[in-house]
Chain A
Amino acid sequence: MELRGRVIKAGIAEGVALVSPEPIGFLGGVDPETGVVIEAGHPLCGQCVAGRVLVFPTGKGSTVGSYTLYRMARRGTAPAAIINAESEAIVAVGAILGDIPMVDQVDVTRIHTGDRVRIEGERILVLAS
């Protein structure tokens, strides 16, 4: 299956999808040293985003979250790529700072955790899980 989105940070990446039905806030929501989601009660709590194609509706929380994403990229704990339904400034700026390929305006319900996903610019290839 192929989906198309709008490029926020251009790039090519491939990985296994990790899908959150709820928004993600990176400052305080994800441990930058490990890439593990630590927000209590979050559907992804306890899961590691490092190297995954992270799919979620939109960002939330403090604007310092942009720096958190950058730090994760430098530590090697960042997602391989980010797919949002609708991007907002915090995650978009973090993805650009951290050189993390990012696409938005995507029907994220068509991607499931465990799917193998390849991103090439605005193209999203969803391979069999």
Chain B
Amino acid sequence: MANGLRLTPEEKAMLAGEEGPGVQKAMEIVVALGQIYGAADLIPIASAQVSGVSYKNLGDAGLELLQEWAATGVRARVPAMLNPAGMDLWQWRELGFSEEFARRQQAVLGAYTALGITPTCTCTPYLVGFVPHLGQSVAWAESSAVSYVNSVLGARTNREGGPSALASAITGRTARYGLHLDEKRRARAIVEVHCPVRTEADLGALGYLVGRQVQKGVPYFRFSPSDWNDSAQALKALGAAMGASGAVALYHIEGVTPEAQREPMVAPDAPTIVVQDLAAAYAALNESGEGIEAIDLVSLGCPHASEEEIQAIADYLDGRRVKAALWITTSRTIRQRAEAKGVVARLEATGARVVADTCLIVAPVKELGFRSLVTNSAKMAFYAPSHSGLTVHFGPTERCLEAALSGRW
């Protein structure tokens, strides 16, 4: 079966079913992908990050598959964790999730836990201890996390699907193709940014524009000096937006990201894209909300908020009271850290909610009764109209917080 693909004796044994049917199925997937993409061999991975966690996206078919796979007794052989689930695993009842949804979501988590996957449900595992190092190969699925570890950390992963990341967790292998290869990591387009890009929303807007233009390509950014923001939050927003409007899994920034220091990182025939302003992105991402002033939900924390972001929101809102629902989505670990410092209590006193394990892209938002969303995330603004049927306003964090306080955009 593995024509053209070299396998070690151990890998051949897995493929032949010597470690049981669950490992065999996983190895069949890894090998099939290696064949389809012309890999020479398989490589060991340091970790796996598995998508397909929300019951909203998985449905009964996905749940059945996970339960059947878990019943074979297989377990992940490398550290592996999960993408966000469809609800906060602790506060779901008070946040308005139905009993029926919660039961099925818990069954999904139960199957993953049986498979040996840590139920850390986050799109930012790199903020809570899963930090692959430069040059290390991993198999991660969440597009914004893939972009961050490839670009900002210089680790190597393709944009895996849910089942392929799970197959890699079980076999500890991925096929050597795509972004695991040096030549595929070279930039195919140069992006010259000639306008100020200061807030996270600006970085997201820029990412939205560039993702649409380069699609699956690897962009190489050159920013006008001092007119932009290279905080970890900003880079997280940039990558998330490019992974949504396009399928960008790796970018380089001159003078900033680790591989941008290496020559030659830009393909000789790479075209140059010039970005003069971000107005087109703000217009496109606000289109669905045009003419709608009353808003009922403000979502911050896409990708999941860092401790610094949550702290800054608390500082801004202290002593005031929100009129719209304000959900700050983050990982369980970050929420616990913020709770220990009293920040969650300060935010709850304003009426805001610090929601863990989920986000408003993968939660059953319609079931929760929300209609009109405000967000500082270009990724969320891109997906919410189609995935969740919400109208969207998109702008910088402070404007979103003012909307939460007034209930109006």
A contacts, CB < 8 Å to B: 6-10, 32, 63-64, 66-68, 70-71, 74, 87-90, 92-93, 96-97, 104
CA of A40 to CA of B383, assembled, Å? 23
In the bound complex, residues from chain A placing their C-beta under 8 Å from that of B35 are: 6, 8
B64 touches A (CB below 8 Å): yes
Interchain nearest-CB distance for A126 vs B (Å): 22
Interface bracket on B: 20 to 34
Partner of A70, one of B61, B161, B164: B61
Stretch at the interface among B26-34, B145-153, B179-187, B295-303: B26-34
Q: A6-B3, A7-B1, A8-B32 are in contact. Are A63 and B161 (CB under 8 A)?
A: yes
25 contacts between A and B (CB under 8 A): A6-B35, A7-B1, A8-B32, A10-B1, A32-B61, A63-B161, A63-B162, A64-B57, A64-B62, A66-B161, A67-B59, A67-B65, A67-B163, A70-B61, A70-B65, A71-B65, A74-B64, A89-B36, A89-B164, A92-B33, A93-B33, A93-B161, A93-B163, A96-B28, A96-B29
Residue of A nearest to B64 (CB): A74
In the bound complex, residues from chain A placing their C-beta under 8 Å from that of B57 are: 64
Interchain nearest-CB distance for B115 vs A (Å): 14
In the bound complex, residues from chain A placing their C-beta under 8 Å from that of B65 are: 67, 70-71, 97
Partner of B161, one of A8, A90, A96, A104: A90
Partner of A71, one of B1, B28, B61, B163: B61
Please encode chain B, from 162 to 189, with 1 for each CB lying within 8 Å of some chain A CB and 0 for all others.
1110000000000000000000000000
CA of A101 to CA of B308, assembled, Å? 51
Please encode chain B, from 351 to 381, with 1 for each CB lying within 8 Å of some chain A CB and 0 for all others.
0000000000000000000000000000000
CA of A93 to CA of B3, assembled, Å? 18
In the bound complex, residues from chain B placing their C-beta under 8 Å from that of A70 are: 61, 64-65
In the bound complex, residues from chain A placing their C-beta under 8 Å from that of B211 are: none
Is there an interface contact between A67 and B36, defined as CB atoms closer than 8 Å?
A: no
Is there an interface contact between A9 and B32, defined as CB atoms closer than 8 Å?
A: yes
In the bound complex, residues from chain B placing their C-beta under 8 Å from that of A63 are: 161-162
Is there an interface contact between B61 and A67, defined as CB atoms closer than 8 Å?
A: yes
CA of A90 to CA of B64, assembled, Å? 18
Is there an interface contact between B62 and A67, defined as CB atoms closer than 8 Å?
A: yes
Interface residues of B in 16-73 (CB under 8 A from A): 25, 28-29, 32-33, 35-36, 52, 57-62, 64-65
Interchain nearest-CB distance for B188 vs A (Å): 21
Beyond known contacts A92-B33, A96-B29: 12 more, CB 8 A cutoff: A6-B3, A32-B61, A63-B161, A66-B163, A67-B61, A67-B65, A71-B61, A71-B64, A89-B36, A93-B161, A93-B164, A96-B28
